[in-house]
Amino acid sequence: MTAIAAPGTKTARHARTATQPTMPTGQKVRWGTANTITIAWTLFPIWWLIALAFKAPATLNDGSFWPNQWSWSNFSGIFHGTAFVKPLLNSIGIGVISTVISVVLATMAAYAIARLKFPGKSLLIGVSLLIAMFPLISLVNPLFNIERVLGLFDTWPGLIIPYLAFSLPLAIYTLSAFFREIPWDLEKAAKVDGASQRQIFTNVIAPLALPGIATTSILVFMFCWNEFLLAISLTSTNAARTAPAAMGFFTGVSQFTFPIGSIAAAAVIITIPIVIFVMIFQRRIVAGLTAGAVKG
């Protein structure tokens, strides 16, 4: 976030240019050890997952963390037929649509919250936070019944609508923090330059909030992409079932084989979009767009 705030930019720049005192060797070793342990700790399960995905089905239970026999069979297995392909498409579609709608709405709402005075503002913030804190599990049953009656059950909108409800508070909250850091003077300048409120928003504020919008998009997309509880409760067929939910329905080759290989392969696949997403937007997040707006 330091990249966004004008005053923060200054500190960041200073930190970069300041000649740092060289660390004593003992401290270096301690830091190095701590970092290595932390990284190993977090990466180990991921490696385990990848190893499982690449093991040949026969060697799944050989007790090794290293695939002795590399094989694509788990991957080809899940892409055979529609059991995983259709849910994957559902996941992408539902995730992207929810993210777009949510971020567009949240951008406008967050701008209003950050910059405008209107009655009921604190109520709006309070209610949206309340929704964010609501335990999902308590809503599953009512949602199930409502959606069945409305004919939304097992459809894309049936998942998109609740996803919007739960991602909006998060998006509004994150975005309003970004908007607050855009210098007020820019808005005043635009006002004096003759821009209307809408022109100020589209020409000045929104472009500057891009890093914030990118960050929020990732968060919202990840929420929709990873969501399991609603996905499994509000769908019954591959018409709208998303990838995480579909993985729960994987079966082995026979009734008696455990589908751990397929699940691992599917887990690796659904991690890929998240990695790509973060890589695309990371630069935007880091690039301090407002640098130079005001004397920093």
Partner 1 sequence: MATISLEHVSKRYPDGTEAVKDLNLDIANGEFIVFVGPSGCGKSTALNMIAGLEDISDGALRMNTKVVNQLSPKDRDIAMVFQTYALYPHMTVRQNMAFPLKIAHMPQDEIDRRVKEAAELLELTEHLDRKPANLSGGQRQRVAMGRAIVRNPQAFLMDEPLSNLDAKLRVQMRTMISRLQQRLKVTTIYVTHDQTEAMTLGDRILVLRLGVKQQVGSPQELYDYPANLFVAGFIGSPAMNFMPGQLADSVLKWPFGDVRLPAETVRRLEQEKAPRDVIVGIRPEDFEDAALVEGAKREQGTTISVKPDVLESLGSEVFAYFPVPRAEAGQMEELQRVAAEVGTGDAPGSESTFVARLSPITTAREGVAFTLWLNTHKLHLFDAQNGKALGR
CB of 278 to partner 1, least distance (A): 23
Residue 16 found at the interface with partner 1 (CB under 8 A): no
- Give the gyration radius of the chain's Cα atoms: 24
Encoded amino acid at 176, one letter: S
Pull the structure tokens for residue 2: 């330091």
Among 98, 102, 174, 290, binds partner 1 (CB under 8 A): 290
167 burial via Cβ count (<10 Å: 0-12, 13-18, 19+):
buried
62 binds partner 1 (CB under 8 A): no
Binder of partner 1 out of 191, 226, 267, 274 (CB under 8 A): 191
User: Using the rule CB under 8 A, is 220 a contact of partner 1?
Assistant: no
Instruction: Choose between 164 and 190: whose C-beta lies nearer to partner 1.
Output: 190
> Would you count residue 204 as binding partner 1 (CB under 8 A)?
yes
Is 27 among the residues that bind partner 1 (CB under 8 A)? Answer: no
Structure tokens at 61: 């239970």
Residue for token pair 């405008």:
116
The reply to whether 272 sits near partner 1 by the rule CB under 8 A is no
CB 91 within 8 A of CB 242: yes
Q: Tell me: does residue 188 bind partner 1 (CB under 8 A).
A: yes
Strand-pair partners of 256: none
- Residues 230, 162 contacting (CB under 8 angstroms): yes
Shorter beta-carbon distance to partner 1: residue 3 or 239: 3
Residue span binding partner 1 (CB under 8 A) among the ranges 21-29, 140-148, 180-188, 247-255: 180-188
**What residues have CB less than 8 Å from 237, skipping those under 6 apart?**
154
- Using the contact rule CB under 8 A, the part of the chain among 63-71, 151-159, 195-203, 249-257 near partner 1 is 195-203
Q: How many residues bind partner 1 (CB under 8 A)?
A: 24
Asked whether position 239 contacts partner 1 by CB under 8 A, the answer is no
The one-letter amino acid at 109: A
Q: In angstroms, give the least distance from the CB of 213 to partner 1.
A: 13
Strand, helix or coil for residue 288: coil
**Binding of residue 196 to partner 1 (CB under 8 A):** yes
Q: Which stretch binds partner 1 (CB under 8 A): 120-128, 139-147, 190-198, 219-227?
A: 190-198
Site membership for partner 1, residue 294 (CB under 8 A): yes
Helix locations, the chain, DSSP H: 6-17, 25-54, 73-78, 85-115, 121-133, 137-150, 156-180, 184-192, 197-200, 206-208, 210-226, 229-233, 243-247, 260-286
- Under the binding rule (CB under 8 A), the answer on residue 102 touching partner 1 is no
In Å, how far from its chain's centre is CA 147? 25
- The smaller minimum CB distance to partner 1, of residues 43 and 294, is found at 294
Nearer residue to partner 1 within complex by CB, 124 or 210? 210
Decide: 296 and 7 in contact? Cβ < 8 Å: yes
Residue 214 interacts with partner 1 (CB under 8 A)?
no
CA–centroid distance for 67 within its chain: 30
Interacting residues toward partner 1 by CB under 8 A? 183, 185-186, 188-196, 199, 203-204, 207-208, 289-295
